[in-house]
Structure 1
Amino acid sequence: MPTHRFVKTGLLHCAIAASLTVFCSAALAEADENGECTSKPGIRELKKYPDVYNFYYENDLFAGTDNNYTNGIKLSWVSANLEDYINDPCLPNWVRQLNRFSEKLHPGPFDSRNMVVSLGQEMYTPTDHTRRDLIVDDRPYAGWLYLGFAYNARNDKQMDTTEIDVGMVGPASLAHQAQDFIHDLRGIDRFEGWSNQLNNELGLMFVRERKNRILSISGTDGPKIDAISHYGYALGNVKTYLNAGMEFRIGSFLPNDFGTSPIRPASDSNAPLPATSSRRLLQTGLHAFISFDARVVARNIFLDGNTFSDSHSVDKKYLVGDVAAGIAWQWVGGKVTYAQYLRSKEFDGQDKAQSYGSITVSLEY
């Protein structure tokens, strides 16, 4: 690989990681001279509780393919548990003002809340990597680079999530450069048709989702079992859909959260804890899970093409579903999850359903 390309791409990935780190750091405590937050009656200080940092990686290499939804990566920072995220003395004032707007979206008797900041990238390619011309009967080349802001509010059996994603579709997503970099490192042939990718477009998505724990069996003898339903919607020029689904978990230990999280918006696995708890990753255990999600899709820019300019597009299917099975291991301070997903055909002419793998690593600090 030419040195200038290696340096350029390396700087790109460093800049992405640095931007997330800087943003998350900016949301930390407004400490006094002694490094402590000023206490206020009835407020659990953010500074006294650990945050969670998540790394998500999804790729179809786990299924031996390299097309369609071919890669997704996301880093996220999950704030400590907050009873009040408007008056908490450890949050900067600008964050409190943003949260004042957000809390109006989550009215109700919730025990606790938290905030999530994410930075992610997704890439989509057709099947034939050798063709340079436009492949009219296969999905468009596309990338999506985005920053996400999410707010969770929960009680014992319910969690509501609101998320806003903003980013770029097209060459500005840097999906082409990221894929070339990884393929060069692994000695894999490059995809030759990136000149046909979607045009640059500012992307926005507003996402709401509710999760409910509808079953919980936790006797002292035998495995623990629970079931968690979810339903919601997304609005925006990137994706607009209605979705609903379910997850079943069984194991020696089940985390006190609301299920396993893929990169899908509004599905972060690190829910706020009950008001009496201070840490998420405090116990050790293993559990297995199966889940499904069904979507009625009104818009998918990665299939429908650009909103405000002419671009390649295909005829999408309006009903799409995902089925997943996996295993998760949690220890004190960390958690790792692996899942294999099967996604139904998304557009007319697609050869077969797609399979891909997902790895999530969570660390509490």
Structure 2
Amino acid sequence: MLTAEDLMSAHFVRLWTCATALLLNTAQTGYAQADTFNISWDNDLLLGLDQGYTNGVRLAYLTSPSEDTKAVSANISRAAGGFFEALPGIDPGNQKQAVSFSLRQFMVTPADISLEKPSRNDLPYAGYLFLSSTIWSWDADTITGYGAHLGVVGPESGAEASQKWVHRLTGSEEPRGWDYQLGSDVVGGLQATHARKLWRSGNKGDLEHEMAWVGSGMVSSFRSHARVGGVWRTGQYLPGNFVPDYAGTSSTVGLPSALNGSGQGWSVFIGMGLEYVPYSYLEDNADPYQFEESLLLAQVGIGATWQWQSVQAALTFRATTGEQETNKDSFSFGTLSLTWVY
């Protein structure tokens, strides 16, 4: 009989096979339309660690921009732009609109995963699976988004099977304390993001430089927060989106206009930010674990992107000051990401 881990393994193999075939096809044929797809993988093993935020996977899709007259999905973009026109930063007359849909799974584990019964002085096991959708509106200097998300915490998230599969794949130690994970609960909320370009120099094809700031907020029964940060990037043929995905501040803000039209390009970037966390599901439901969420977190991220035809690959390393008030160890992980336009 197939186990949940075997099914998860087969699912990921099929997913990566389909994604690779699609990438090769779009890279060879170019892209006339502008539907955007993304798959990203977070893991602290990319930094040689195994603690805290240990693994996460996100699948995301962005409809064609509202100005596209040929793509069917652009009808969704135009309809959403008209419906949300009254919101600040949504301007169908002067900006492009698009709608993103993303499915994300991530997990939090204690530092010592060898214990069958986790230490009460460490982070608890927790898995989270959620679906979100966001309306984006942007021009050359601003990006604004409003969205909602809904998900589950607990065994239904599939986090246990995912982590065990990844650890078998990488030859890592098997986590033994998932019987004590938090949940089951249904959680959800609303989020908003706004980013603005501050400075730019250089011409297309030459070395370009850009600086921008980004702010975001979320009211959620899983985690409510407010973030603000700044990002600097440099490279050749920089895409229109001036906020790369760093330190979690931008999230799916990296999707709108993520690729340039030249079919080539590269960039390196660094970002820093602050996060205020007034509510955390982990803290509110961690009893009997002695976990207390830090109210204020500092974040930093560095990374690089490379674009070939309609495909962009990105690698980002991130660090956040300790999530746990009683343990100030940094919360660090890496992210591998593939974005393509079809």
Shorter-chain TM-score tier: 0.7 to 0.9
Does 1:301 find its partner at 2:281?
yes
Which among 113, 121, 130 is matched to residue 146 of structure 1? 130
Could you tell me how far apart the structure 1 residues matched to 2:168 and 2:64 are?
39
Residues 113, 272 of structure 1: 8 Å contact kept: no
Q: How big is the shift at 1:93?
A: 8.8
1:195 aligned residue: 179
Provide the residue aligned with 1:24 in structure 2: none
1:317-356 to 2 correspondences below 5 Å: 317-350=294-327, 352-356=329-333
* 1:282 maps to which of 255, 262, 267: 262
Equivalent AA in structure 2 for residue 286 of structure 1: W
* Cα distance in 1 for residues equivalent to 2:165 and 2:323: 27
For 2:25, the equivalent position in structure 1 comes to: none
SS of 1:153 mapped into structure 2: strand
C-alpha deviation, 1:361, in angstroms: 0.8
| Structure 2 partner of 1:74 | 58
CA contact (8 A) 2:323 2:331 kept: no
Q: TM-score, normalised by structure 1?
A: 0.80
| Alignment partner of 2:72 out of 85, 90, 101 | 90
Aligned match of 2:42: 58
Contact 1:304 1:313 in 2 (8 A): no
- Once residues 185 and 145 of structure 2 are traced to their aligned partners in structure 1, the CA distance between those partners, rounded to angstroms, is 26
Shift of 1:243: 0.8
Shift of 1:90: 3.1
> Does structure 2 conserve the Cα–Cα contact (< 8 Å) formed by 1:162 and 1:266?
no
Based on CA coordinates, which of the two structures has the bigger radius of gyration? 1
Aligned-partner Cα distance in 1 for 2:272–2:75:
40
Query: TM-score, with normalisation over the residues of structure 2?
Result: 0.84
Pairing partner for 1:120 from 101, 104, 108: 104
Counterpart contact for 1:199–1:311, Cα < 8 Å: no
Query: Where do residues 129-144 of structure 1 align in structure 2 (5 Å cutoff)?
Result: 129-144=113-128
How much has 1:107 moved relative to structure 2? 3.9
Local SS of the residue matching 1:349: coil
Identity %: 21
The CA deviation at 1:61 is: 0.5
Matched, 1:269 2:254: yes
Q: What's the offset of the Cα at 1:184?
A: 2.4
Distance 1:154 1:4, change over 3 A: closer
Which amino acid is 1:362 matched to? T
Structure 2, gaps ≥5 residues long: 20-30
1:325 alignment partner AA: I
Does 2:211 match 1:231? no
Corresponding pairs, count:
326
The answer for the alignment partner of 1:358 in structure 2 is 335
Out of 243, 253, 260, the position equivalent to 2:244 is: 260
Shift, 1:320, TM fit: 0.7
Q: Are 2:167 and 1:183 aligned?
A: yes
Letter in 2 for 1:90: V
For residue 13 of structure 1, report the CA deviation from its aligned partner. Answer: 5.4
> Aligned partners of 1:333, 1:312: CA distance in 2, in Å?
47
Tell me the amino acid that sits aligned with residue 323 of structure 1: V
- Alpha-carbon shift at residue 228 of structure 1 (Å): 1.2
CA distance in 2, matches of 1:139, 1:299: 16
The residue that corresponds to 2:26 in the other structure is: none
Question: Residue 3 of structure 2 aligns with which residue?
Answer: 4
Q: Deviations over 1:223-273 (max 9, x none)?
A: 211011011210011111111001101122311112212565754312249
Give the SS at the match of 1:190.
coil
2:173 aligns to what SS in structure 1?
A: coil
